[in-house]
């Protein structure tokens, strides 16, 4: 079946070239009927990313470009879905095997009776910034001024929507007094600012830099660092991760271990290389809108958001649960077993 707004990106075995691929159910070759075997006996895994060109999800493409998936015997097909909630839905429908998206979806889904789990944590901070339109900066000086405003998010039910509502409630503004407008990221987010469809909105790099360069918006609440997230949200807020359905993890442990080991190698590579070296590995299209120099500068400023080891921060799950419980009727008052929303077991094994 075809997927909305997807750009399918496959890894060619020898060249790491980008290629279009079709969508369908896949998984480890160890599972009869659900897996496909690639060339040389490799296992095909389909991962959907909530915005491949976003720096918060950079480890997905970087792992591909470094050849770590291929070295592990995996043919990982990365597909692009600008709104994380849509990526989540594609995984639940069985169209892809896993999602590179925000950890908070696992808590939200468990509260709704669906069991998924993060298997490797890629970011230890959201990497998000609430941007206020330049001509509204004098009127919107904090989240307390969100009342009656149109606020841009990647999608309804997305992590940016979760965080926007949490910031509003924390500032004393009920969620029914703000209007969330789904505008994705990149050109569509920028256009929404330019045409005054939104007064403020939450986005990531390189969209942040593009908005500043065009004098369309300026930062209001900055959560690109762990310190900024703690100040805005009251604690460590782990975000980007690889998460999968728990039943899929149980049925494909060897494949999951290979995926996690590849990602852990990438996180170590990020922490031992400069922003310029990292940018040099990315497709040029990822920074064509802002320019390489601006892309590198933005990456350097937020490089600390990447996890050094892939482990879940000890206080992270509780912070995320508190944030979601502050505004979401789907989570507030529901029993959530945080220990089932993530596992460190594969990361620990990768380090041995």
Q: What is the pLDDT of residues 156-176, one digit of tens each?
A: 989 999 999 999 999 999 999
In this prediction, residue 14 has a pLDDT band, given cuts at 50, 70 and 90, of very low
Weakest mean pLDDT among 5-19, 46-60, 70-84, 238-252 = 5-19
At 18, is the pLDDT very low, low, confident or very high (cuts 50, 70, 90)? very low
Q: How big is the CA angle at 130 (ends 129 and 133), to the nearest 5 degrees?
A: 125
Q: How many CB atoms lie within 10 A of CB 292?
A: 15
Cα 237 to the center of its chain, rounded Å: 13
Q: How many Cβ atoms are within 10 Å of 24's Cβ, its own excluded?
A: 12
Instruction: Give the tens place of pLDDT for each residue, 143-160.
Output: 999 999 999 999 998 999
Q: Which two tokens stand for residue 300?
A: 């350097």
- pTM of structure: 0.88
Task: Look at residue 193 and tell me whether its pLDDT is greater than 70.
Answer: yes
Q: Which residues of the chain form CATH 3.40.190.10?
A: 8-125+238-350, 128-223
Pick 8-125+238-350's CATH classification: 3.40.50.970, 3.40.190.10, 1.10.579.10, 2.40.50.100.
3.40.190.10
Q: What is the pLDDT of residue 330?
A: 95
First to last CA, the chain: 40
Smallest Cα–Cα separation from 154: which of 110, 116, 112, 105? Answer: 105
Cα separation, 253 vs 163, in Å, equals 32
Which two structure tokens, joined as six digits, stand for 190? 């920028």
Kindly give the pairing relationship between strand 74-80 and strand 8-9: antiparallel
Which fold would CATH assign to domain 128-223? Answer: D-Maltodextrin-Binding Protein; domain 2 (3.40.190)
**DSSP code of 311?**
P
pLDDT (tens digit per residue) in 275-309 = 999 999 999 999 999 999 999 999 999 999 999 99
> How far apart (Å, rounded) are the C-alpha atoms in residues 29 and 219?
46
Which pair of tokens denotes residue 117? Answer: 């789990």
- Cα angle 201, 168, 187; round to 5: 10
């Amino acid at each position: 079946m075809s997927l909305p707004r997807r750009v399918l990106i496959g890894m060619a075995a020898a060249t790491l070239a980008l290629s279009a691929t079709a969508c369908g159910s896949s998984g480890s070759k160890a599972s009869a009927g659900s897996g496909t075997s690639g060339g040389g006996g490799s296992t095909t895994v389909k991962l959907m990313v909530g915005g491949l060109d976003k720096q918060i999800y950079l480890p997905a493409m970087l792992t591909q470009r470094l050849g770590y998936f291929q070295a592990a015997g995996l043919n990982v097909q990365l597909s692009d879905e600008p709104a994380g909630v849509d990526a989540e839905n594609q995984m639940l429908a069985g169209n892809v095997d896993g999602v590179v998206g925000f950890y908070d979806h696992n808590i939200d889904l468990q509260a709704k009776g669906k069991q998924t789990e993060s298997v490797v944590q890629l970011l230890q901070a959201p990497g998000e910034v609430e941007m206020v339109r330049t001509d509204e900066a004098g009127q919107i000086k904090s989240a307390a001024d969100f009342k009656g405003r149109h606020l841009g998010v990647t999608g309804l039910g997305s992590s940016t929507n979760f965080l926007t509502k949490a910031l509003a409630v924390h500032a004393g503004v009920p969620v029914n007094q703000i209007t969330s407008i789904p505008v994705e990221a990149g050109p569509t987010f920028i256009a929404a600012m330019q045409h005054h469809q939104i007064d403020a909105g939450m986005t990531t790099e390189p969209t942040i830099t593009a908005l500043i360069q065009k004098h369309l918006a300026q930062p209001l609440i900055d959560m690109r660092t762990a310190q900024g997230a703690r100040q805005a949200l009251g604690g460590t807020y782990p975000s980007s991760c690889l998460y999968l359905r728990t039943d899929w993890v149980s049925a494909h442990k060897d494949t999951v271990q290979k995926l996690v080991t590849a990602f852990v190698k990438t996180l170590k590579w990020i922490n031992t290389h400069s922003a310029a070296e990292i940018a040099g590995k990315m497709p040029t299209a990822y920074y064509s809108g802002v320019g390489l120099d601006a892309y590198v500068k933005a990456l350097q400023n937020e490089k600390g958001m990447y996890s050094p080891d892939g482990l879940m921060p000890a206080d992270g799950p509780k912070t995320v649960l508190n944030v979601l419980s502050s505004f979401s009727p789907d989570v507030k008052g529901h029993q959530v077993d945080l220990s089932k929303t993530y596992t460190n077991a594969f990361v620990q094994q990768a380090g041995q």
